[in-house]
Amino acid sequence: MIMDNVKCPISGGPANFYCNKPPVDYYISKRNGLIFQREIPTPEEMVAYADNEYESGLYKNYVLAADLKYKTFEKRIELIKKYVSGGRLLDVGCSSGFFIETAIKHGFDAYGMEFSKQAIKQAKPEIQDRITNGDINLIRESGKGEFDIIVAFDVIEHTHDPVRFLIDLQEVLSPGGWLILSTPDTGHFLRYLMGSRWPMLQPLQHTFLFSKQAMQKALDLSGYNILQVQNSYKTLTLEYLAGQISLYNPLLTRFYKILSPFLPGFICNQPFSVNIGEMLVVGQKRT
């Protein structure tokens, strides 16, 4: 049901109805471009969805595409090393631990946090021991100490309160520590081009979708200095990308399936680096 007088949870300003993606309605802030769900699924619903996807759905394909993830994370760790060359690192929403492996290889003492037990089960045994099943509050209460770097790739769009989430991260971040996160960008041209068919609109996953302006506001409210906001790139193949958007944009997937038999196999499975509509943000905890 479309509601009047909806306020942006970041700016407090007015928001308009954006689109319906059953079972939820999305609204968009007039002031900063934040797109958000008016009624957010329960944590239990979101965990159940993620566990199911790691067993048989889109997230299972994520695990099967480990080589592509390693290529993406190699580039991201090189970016991080421009700011800090080592230390204790926490990967929030670490999935099956691919970035933890990459960080350890580059000399970081890396750990992870993941809410999906199914995702953790698919991590390598030696990496599973470094992953806490739960949320950031469990990390804080465990007394595992502070971290020099926190990464949160494709996580903040899943939260129930993104500002609270950023504050919670700060509480386990050392003074002057670094936060690196990635998330969909509502200012990307694909969002304007695709409207309600934008694949980032995922009702049981993506509760808050940020513009660069909205992200800067949220980080400022949470006590971070923003050092860099840039486009985020991932290593993909056409075959993998078509599978990932099949649920949210079946028309594009059907078009690819029609076209792919006429393409050389190496084109469909050749890795390439692309911005699919996401931003990468580097922030630093205020001292």
Domain boundaries, the chain: 6-285
- How far, in Å, CA of 286 to CA of 27, rounded? 31
Rounded Cα gap, residues 162 and 158, in angstroms: 9
How large a percentage of the chain has pLDDT more than 90? Answer: 65
Single-letter amino acid code for the residue at 26: Y
DSSP string covering 107-140? TEEEEEEES-HHHHHTS-HHHHTTEEES-HHHHH
pLDDT band at 246 (very low <50, low <70, confident <90, very high): low
Tell which wins on pLDDT, 71 or 247.
Answer: 71
- Does position 267 have pLDDT exceeding 80, yes or no? no
For range 251-271, the mean pLDDT: 74
Q: Which of 48-62, 200-214, 235-249 has the lowest mean pLDDT?
A: 48-62
What would the pLDDT profile of 8-50 be if each residue is shown by its tens digit?
999 999 999 999 998 899 999 999 999 999 889 888 888 888 7
Q: Which residue has the higher pLDDT, 239 or 285?
A: 285
Q: Please determine, looking at this structure, whether the domain spanning 6-285 carries the CATH number 1.10.390.10.
A: no
Mean pLDDT of 43-65: 73
pLDDT, one tens digit per residue, over 154-189 is 999 999 999 999 999 999 999 999 999 999 999 999
- To which H or E segment does residue 216 belong? helix 212-222
Q: How confident is the model at residue 206 (pLDDT cuts 50, 70, 90)?
A: very high
